[in-house]
Amino acid sequence: MTPSELLVIVAVIALARAVLSLRPVVAGSSGRSTAIAREFLDPFIVAGLAAWVLISFVARTYYIPSGSMLPTLQIHDVLLVDKFEYRFHAPREGDIVVFPPPVPTPDDFIKRVIGLPGDQLRIDRGVVYLNGIALKEPYTADKPEYSLEVRNYGIYVSYGAGWQRLDSSSANVPPAAQWSAPDRIPPHCYIMLGDNRNDSEDSHIWGFAQDGGRFASGPRAGERAGFTGRAFLIFWPPSQARIL
């Protein structure tokens, strides 16, 4: 349930409560039925408003609809996402993050942060190199079957038959003026990859995620960007429950 849907439900209950408050008391009833109804509705209103504050500003649940984060996250897992943490610091390497991607979709995506602003990043023969150092990634399902390089103010991907630069019409790749160096991830931009590298729609397809501002290019250029929050707990099903 989204914050907006919850707020609508609370508003309906509050409206019912207001109608009961204005309803004339039937002779001989002493208003007991109305008072009882109010007693039940008031706690729902208070609880609903408290829940709205929590899921809008503190934490919310997120349902895993696909296998892009296997084996770390299973399809149908339900997570708790901390929406408060990134108000105090930027995402860190290795965080599992829920965010709106730079491609049209009704839902947020969930991926792992691999490259931060200012990092040099490439993927060669299935190994991710971050600032020249090979990452140890025990959480991945398989090594990526593609190569990737951040260079020349762009993201280049190869599937074994030459390099292709991600097109700014279909991917979020800022113009050169917004980069601090031609071979480093631009400010406010992140490389996000799924743990199931070969079955994940992520940065090797749609470019950079952003921690704020508006998407620089791609099909959602000009729309607001940002991060919803960090996934920190699997709480359903109980057999999968653990801190991430």
Q: Which helix (H) or strand (E) holds 12?
A: helix 3-22
Is 111 one of the annotated active-site residues of the chain?
A: yes
Candidate list 68, 200, 203, 217, residue with the active-site label: 68
Q: Active site includes 30?
A: no
Candidates 80, 13, 5, 3; CA nearest to 46 is: 13
**φ/ψ (deg, to 5) at 7:** -65, -35
- Alpha-carbon distance of 37 to 216, in angstroms, equals 52
- CA–CA separation, 105 vs 75, rounded Å? 18
The SS3 call for residue 116 is: coil
Give me the catalytic one of 30, 66, 111, 158: 111
- Distance, in Å, from the CA atom of 4 to the CA atom of 195, rounded to the nearest integer, reads 31
Residues identified as active-site: 68, 111
